[in-house]
Structure 1
Amino acid sequence: MNDIDAQRLMIKVARLYHTHEMRQTDIAKRLQISQSRVSRLLAQAEDASIVRTVVAVPPHIHAELEERVEALYGLSEVHIIDAVSDNEQELGKDLAHTMASLLQDVAFEVSTIALTSWSKTMRMMIDTMLPMRTRCKHVVETLGDLGPPSLQHATARSTQQFAALTGAQPVFLRTPGVAASPEMKELLLSGDPHAREALQMLDSVDLALVGIGADEIDPDLRPGDNFFSDEQFARVRALGAVGEVCLHFLDADGNPIDSELEDLVVGITREQLRNARHRWAVAGGARKHRAIRAAAAGGWVDTLVTDAATARFLVDTASADRKAAADLKPAQSTPRRRTAASKA
């Protein structure tokens, strides 16, 4: 059997098992092969990403904690997972699987999705996704190219893959995500009608899949490589930044930081992000605790997928802030009793 015939058999077995819900013994009889071979072919189909398995976490495992975070931060939905490891890569995979499961069952009408494809967790999510039941028209990248060419290629491939899963047309933003100067940004956009069109499409976003970053350079990125430098990060931290949402820096309360860096970003604006009908974020881990809190407190996201430790951090800090605010309130003064001398 040549390679093409072997691949066809693998796909046929995968379809009979996953799509037609046939038992392995029945598949073996139908195709006149051994059951052990059916098992091997199913495993090979997963290894080749022909079959993507999504672990659907039952809702409300952390119901009380989810409701607490929603109430404290005014979020529409919070979905919390138990991390199997403190390792950031493994945590990202768990979060990505959960987000993929939620996206598959989007219940509202979606025409345009804004995708932060440079986010590693988003790319892992796309690799595990099944086709969305709700079809959309356009998937637009939220940011231009960031980092080295290998990362740019990976993000473009993820955008293309996600668009296929949603039945949409991919809209790429093929321009540096961070310009060297405001003048260079203007020059880049003036000569690129495709980039201008992509940015205009971000005016009407039904679902923004938001990236949340810490107040430091992401491990996948290099300083100054279509990105900010260490010195620029230091300056914005001095202004109070604790993290960023789609490269818009925020202080601890979620207020946007006005700095020269804002004029260098080529991507979704703060106003466009605010105007998106739905804003979903997936993020977790200790390194991003303060950034996630800022994004939630500032109303930059309305649905959050995170881990239990991060959720407890969100609750603890919000409770501590409320207590501190209560302690700062002046004690209500009681009227003094008038003495006989004062009455005279």
Structure 2
Amino acid sequence: MITKIARMHYERGIRQVDIAETLHLSQPRVSRLLKRAAELGIVRTVVVVSQGIHTEIEEALEQRYGLAEAVVVDVEGDDSDVLSGLGSAGAAYLESILTGGERIGISPWSQTLLSVVDRMRPLRLAGADNVVQLIGGLGVTSAQARANRLLDDFAHILGANATFVPAPGLVGNTTIRDSLLAEPAMQAIATEWASLTMALIGIGSLPPSEFLRQSGNAVSDDDQAKLLAAGAVGDVCHRFFDAAGRPVASDLDDRVLGIDQQALRAVPRRIGFAGGAAKHHAIRAAVTGGWVNVLITDIATAQALLGD
């Protein structure tokens, strides 16, 4: 009887209610017998993984680095190919998880996040309540326009309110930083940072990306030299860390107009979007140090992260 019911349901596609009527059984009994078929090994479930899907690598990354989730993109080639692939995969991922009510922080000086937002489609229902920049968005005019477009377009796609940071990401000294943070507008933004439910983060490396250099918000050559001497390999929102993911202290911390380390780490879902050979060390450090707990990356980077 168990085998007969299993064949009717799984091979012939007959619904449980119709099986019950045909065999003069109750539907709950048909359901129990189908469950028993699985327990006895009469029915076995096989998951066929589509080409280009790397669930085993994703699970290995999650286990090794304690990630809540890893998404590995099946893309190879030069930096532009990787950027395009991460953009498409990142857009699809966000479209699938954003169901409303989120308070999202986003780093404005990330080429990868620009690629993601460029590929997203407007959601039918609001995907978030608020979207706020995680670090100052003022800079060289052409680059600033792209950073502002990132936030504006993203908020429009999600049907959310947008909050811009009316200041550069990096200022000349602590006095300027403290003066700006004392402004009511910046205090209101700091309150928003403290209540974020999600952060979308680009993972930076040394030397910084061309986009960040063009923005006027990149660290100077002298500061880069000091950071490298102190062991820095990368950053998120200008918060630098070494190969083990430990924060690298420097006077830059007091010149950054952006979310601080403690507030960033308190965000429940911190999604890092990064890939490419030049960023392998920075990405490894970011996941090792817990700067991000979700990673969207390319297959070559994933293999490098698992390589040792």
- Quote the residue 2:253 is aligned against: 262
1:108 is displaced (CA, Å) by: 6.4
Deviation at 1:60, TM superposition (A): 7.9
CA gap of 1:58–1:302, structure 2 versus 1, over 3 A, is farther
SS in 1 for 2:92: helix
Residue of structure 2 in register with 1:181 after alignment: 173
Amino acid in structure 2 at the alignment position of 1:61:
I
Shift of 1:157: 1.5
Which residue number in structure 2 is paired with residue 163 of structure 1? 155
Q: CA deviation at 1:111?
A: 2.8
- Residues of 2 paired with 1:74 and 1:88: CA distance? 27
Matches of 1:298 and 1:106, distance apart in 2 = 25
Distance 1:177 1:222, change over 3 A: same
Matches within 5 A, 1:1-344: 61-85=53-77, 87-106=78-97, 110-132=101-123, 133=125, 135-145=127-137, 147-190=139-182, 192-222=183-213, 225-317=216-308
TM-score (structure 1 length as normaliser) = 0.71
Following the alignment from structure 1 to structure 2, what is the Cα–Cα distance between the partners of residues 270 and 91? 28
- Per-residue deviation at 1:193? 2.1
Report the identity percentage: 37
Shift in Å at residue 189 of structure 1? 2.6
Cα root mean square deviation, aligned: 2.0
Amino acid corresponding to residue 101 of structure 1 in structure 2: A
The AA in structure 2 aligned to 1:88 is D
Distance 1:179 1:232 in 2: 13
Gaps of 5+ in 2: 1-48
Q: 1:193 to 1:227 in 2, by over 3 A?
A: farther
2 CA distance for matches of 1:58 and 1:212? 29
1:195 CA displacement:
2.4
- CA-CA distance at 1:187 after TM superposition: 1.9
**How far did 1:309 drift?**
0.8
Bigger shift: residues 102-111 or 133-142 = 102-111
Report SS of the residue matched to 2:104.
Answer: strand
CA distance in 1, matches of 2:271, 2:61: 15
Q: Which amino acid aligns with 1:282?
A: F
**Which one-letter code corresponds to 2:226 in the other structure?**
R
TM-score by length of 2: 0.79
Q: Distance in 2 between matches of 1:109 and 1:278?
A: 15
Q: What CA distance in whole angstroms lies between the structure 2 residues aligned with 1:77 and 1:202? A: 23
* 60-69 or 264-273, larger mean C-alpha shift: 60-69
| CA apart distance, 1:188 | 2.3
TM-superposed CA distance for 1:105, in Å, is: 1.2
Give the whole-Å Cα distance in 2 for the aligned partners of 1:74 and 1:134. 30
Q: CA 1:151/1:59 → structure 2, altered by over 3 Å: closer, same or farther?
A: farther
1:124-155 Cα offsets, whole Å, 9 max, x none, are: 11111013455321100011026421111111
Unmatched tracts of structure 1, length 5 or more: 1-56, 318-344
CA offsets per residue over residues 79-104 of structure 1, 9 Å max, x none? 1112241x212211110110100111
CA separation of 1:159/1:313 partners in 2, compared to 1, >3 Å: closer, same or farther? Answer: same
| 8 Å contact from structure 1 (residues 278, 302) kept in 2 | yes
